[in-house]
Chains A and B, each alone.
Chain A
Amino acid sequence: MLTIGQEIHDAIVAHALRDHPDEACGVVAGPEGSDRPERFIEMVNAAGSPTFYEFDSSDLFALYKDMDDRDEEPVVIYHSHTATEAYPSRTDIGLASEPNAHYVLVSTRDCFDEAGGNNDGPVEFRSYRIIDGVVSEEDVTITPSQTTQEESSP
């Protein structure tokens, strides 16, 4: 199961809507071994395509170096599908290379009308494990924003 904060969930959805009709992509990093997605990192889709995404190679290096320095790992790797359902494509499955990550897919196909105008349709938000070519969908639990907790911290 993926447990993710409301704010991070909303940030992923907002990124997908903003980049539509191109695919949006990014990572939510968290402390190694914690399974807690805490640090939202929007990435540039170097492919700039409605049907393909790829992190730029320099961005990828910088991202992993930064996570390494912070003892983090990619807890969530997200991207959007803009004309199809939020389910891993054969390309997604073939290229998935983080066996510990939750692969989040969002679909913005119902959010825009044919002219590209916003029609306020729902954004599909689903999560999967992709290990050795096998896809397992998992439940997503969205937790309320951490505001209260942050306020109580010194």
Chain B
Amino acid sequence: MAIEVRIPTILRTYTGGAKAVDADGSTLTALIDDLESNHPGIKDRLIENGDLRRFVNVYINDEDVRFIGGLEAGLTDGDQVVVLPAVAGGSHPTTLPASPASLLPPTTPRGPRKP
């Protein structure tokens, strides 16, 4: 089984500069573990406290995984996974990881990080 994972510029230090790598897994969690075994260190850039990092977006076949089960989202052969860091910021001085998620209006599609 092969799933193409597209890697953003900032994480290509973990993939030897590759823009895309192949990985295996029947769920996103399994896929990330498989990525980690070949590209040590990358998991920590994607996951924090057992959840997807607030400012990392992962898409399976064009769908934000937050709307299709998060880390438990299922994968099948031939799927394409895209990782994109959020483009975000602003003048609010809150430092990370005291998440600016708390500044977002409640209508935001992805809720604030779990406590």
State the A residues within 8 Å of B (CB).
23, 25, 27, 43, 46-55, 57-58, 60-61, 64-65, 73-74, 77, 79, 81-84, 88-92, 94-100
Contacts and interface: CB of A to CB of B under 8 A. Distances in A.
Given A49-B104, A64-B84, A98-B87, 4 more contacts: A52-B88, A54-B88, A88-B89, A99-B9
A4 B112 CA distance: 37
Contacts of A89: 89-93
Given A57-B66, A97-B8, A91 B100 contact: yes
Given A54-B104, A90-B95, A97 B90 contact: no
B25 interface: no
Contacts of A65: 62
B60 to A, nearest CB: 11
B4 interface: no
Contacts of B93: 89-91
9 contacts: A47-B105, A57-B64, A57-B109, A58-B64, A79-B89, A81-B90, A81-B91, A91-B95, A91-B100
A77 B90 CA distance: 12
Nearest to A132: B10
Contacts of B92: 49, 51-52, 89, 91
B91 A94 contact: no
Given A58-B64, A61-B82, A97-B10, A92 B108 contact: no
B113 interface: no
Contacts of A46: 108
